[in-house]
A and B are shown apart, each in its own frame.
Chain A
């Protein structure tokens, strides 16, 4: 009897816990978090409209649909209306000048909004970009728009470091890397022209392995990106990089990129200990030799492999002054640090003025993984993947493990 009672109590207790948000998100003093979405699956990037509608782009169809709009119709602070549309999976989503833009892994579509901010025709978007490289690896197409009618699309390099045989231990890097002609960079297209492909686009910046986070910085009117560095330095070159170094290097990076810029992939990686562009061993590097002297330097070098999946330049007035024009970066969390424990799974803040960092980056929101230390990646409860700013200056963080979205507010 006693045992039965005990079991029942335990069962009741654990189910109570399971009902609540399954992790506690830690934010700085004065900030609070709330859950605005739960259990939508692989939610990648998100966008929030001027009326508070939250758009989520899914990497796995939910009831056959790849975009979900959440709306709070009665303005009680809870999302009470769910609209699902778009029959393709993908990562990128953005709102600009009366249109919603969304990407698959090879195309970009746009949907016109009416003045009630409803999509006029969810079934028939305009296809503005088509035929982009999708070779499974680094295939997600992140997007952002400027104020001059252009849209920027990340086309990730389908390779680790452009070796003759991809990811083969000891394989040499190709010189020059042929992948750079159609991938490994950011392409610029017109936001209002149909069916554009490489011929109609401009390779805006190159030498970027896989930039998943990008945002237009309105303060300086330039494109900002966060890029994923190469994998396997320790695994493929243990004589040059020990287990610890291979976990910390290369840096994950944030750049300001101007038209024509080259960030150096696959020839070099950024090393935030030496503050240099270090030649990759596949191209003859020894851990010290520098290379790609024409390539630009990043604004920030973060620890290795943490996977910066989203970038948001904060323009709101709600957060304290120090946050204005600074950058929030959502780190998806590493896998390539094993057997060391994994890192990331948090949102960091980089203070900036005039497009330049004014201090060190700091962890802003943490606890998404639901554990102190993640050793095995599949145990992480949530992984931050998208960021958006709401009309009141709150920010939103999405997760692509279970499809949660959190709203972070400042309450004085």
Chain B
């Protein structure tokens, strides 16, 4: 009886471990691809360190937009962004155009990269989540 519970427990543990490992491997690959997308389409404005351009393009470091509501974050990339916002007491004057031309996978990758770079550590974004935001338009 006791043995059975222990074996079951061990089994669950192994399954969980393997799952989290593949999850890790998956998001690692996504971050790697995302960096390429970032360098091509985002880096000029938000800079290589995600620090942005003072008063023009906001930083992507632990901002509420990066950290919180995934749908809003995906929406910013798909629809662009042009409204007065304040981050750490600063306002930003430039206009971010829509990046709807990126595929669901590219958007998921670039946001997973952003959410796991520049000191950020937030959950990955999946192509399915991007697809669902895109279809809600």
Contacts and interface: CB of A to CB of B under 8 A. Distances in A.
B59 A136 contact: no
A378 B49 contact: yes
A247 B94 CA distance: 19
A378 B56 contact: no
Given A338-B44, A375-B48, A378-B47, A137 B95 contact: yes
Q: How large is the interface on B (under 10, 10 to 19, 20 to 34, 35 or more residues)?
A: 20 to 34
A165 B96 CA distance: 11
Contact of A378 (B41, B53, B80, B98): B53
A335 interface: yes
B47 A169 contact: no
Which of B43, B59, B97: most chain A CB closer than 10 A? Answer: B97
Given A166-B97, A168-B98, A232 B44 contact: yes
Q: How large is the interface on A (under 10, 10 to 19, 20 to 34, 35 or more residues)?
A: 20 to 34
Contacts of A377: 47, 51-54
A243 to B, nearest CB: 10
Given A59-B55, A335-B57, A401-B54, A136 B93 contact: yes
Mostly helix, strand, loop or mixed at chain B's interface? loop
A165 B100 CA distance: 13
A336 B41 CA distance: 12
Interface string A356-398: 0000000000000000000111110001000000000000000
Mostly helix, strand, loop or mixed at chain A's interface? loop
Contact of A379 (B39, B51, B94): B51
Contacts of A138: 93
B101 A169 contact: yes
Contact of A338 (B43, B55, B98): B43
Interface string B43-82: 1110111011111110100000000000000000000101
Interface string B86-114: 00000101111110010000000000000
8 contacts: A42-B55, A139-B93, A167-B96, A232-B44, A339-B43, A375-B48, A376-B47, A377-B52
Closest 8 CB pairs of A and B: A378-B51, A376-B49, A335-B53, A167-B97, A168-B97, A136-B93, A376-B47, A338-B44
